[in-house]
Each structure stands twice: as C-alpha cells, then as structure tokens.
Amino acid sequence: MSDERNSRILVVEDQAAISMLVEDLLVDSGYDVVGPASSMEQAMDITRSSAIDGAVLDIQIGDTPVYPLADLLHSIGVPFIFSTGYQGTTIPERFKGVPVVEKPYGSEAFVGALQTALRGAAKPRQSRSSAA
C-alpha cells in the first residue's frame, strides 16, 4: 500500500477499555477505524461486508481464538497484526510472520507493527494442508 494514511483498520477486541485505547491510537496516527468488533460473529460480518485495509486482532475474543478470522483476512489479502495480553502465546505456524504486540503496548510499538503489516513485510505463511 503506497499511502497508509486513511487506511481503514478493523479493530477486533472484546475489552471495551482496550478497544477505546486502540481506536485512539489509530485515529491519532491517521487511520480510519472500522468497528470495533467485540465478537467473532461481528468481526466476520464486518470483514465480509466492509472495505478494510488492515486489522488489529486480539488473539482471544471471549473464549474463542481469532484464527478463523485471520484465515479469512489472509484469504482476501488483508494484512493484520495480533495483540495479546498473554505472554508467550503460541501462534499457529501459518501465522509466524504476522506481527504480535503484547499488552500493555506502547503507541510506537503498536503503530510500528501495523505499519509493517500494511507494507506487506510480514505476510502469513500457508500451511502445507491449506496450500492448493
């Protein structure tokens, strides 16, 4: 993407306070926020029906891992980053190249990870079972 400014970023976060923080960081950095989505169903619906340029995905939404949404985003070519409050979170092999920011994160680390994803420097690798 040649100009990241005004990119539409989907926020998927189930904790309202963190969601507001992420929204503020994105808006202050020149991005447009889509959502936020606080459930997987809502996030999948937004992804299928809205034009988005990138996404910030909390790894765990309630009791549900966000990986099916990450697979969908990857399949339609939308870059994303993961955020997590769990140190040492194990990311599936197919997402090893995706930037991960650990909560609490600073604005520079967060925005830097998103910029890296938007520039396409960190694309998820397909697993052998999903490669066709």
pLDDT tens-digit map of 20-52: 999 999 999 999 999 999 999 999 999 999 999
**Considering the entire predicted model, what is its pTM?**
0.85
Q: Which residue has the tokens 């190249």?
A: 97
pLDDT tens-digit map of 87-98: 766 789 999 889
Long-range Cβ contact pairs of 101-107 (< 8 A, separation 24 or more): 103/18, 107/25, 107/28, 107/29
Confidence band, pLDDT 50/70/90 cuts, at residue 116: very high
Backbone angles phi, psi at 59, to 5 degrees: -65, -30
- Please report, for residues 62, 66, 101, 111, the alpha-carbon distance to residue 5 in angstroms, rounded to integers and kept in the order given: 31, 26, 21, 12
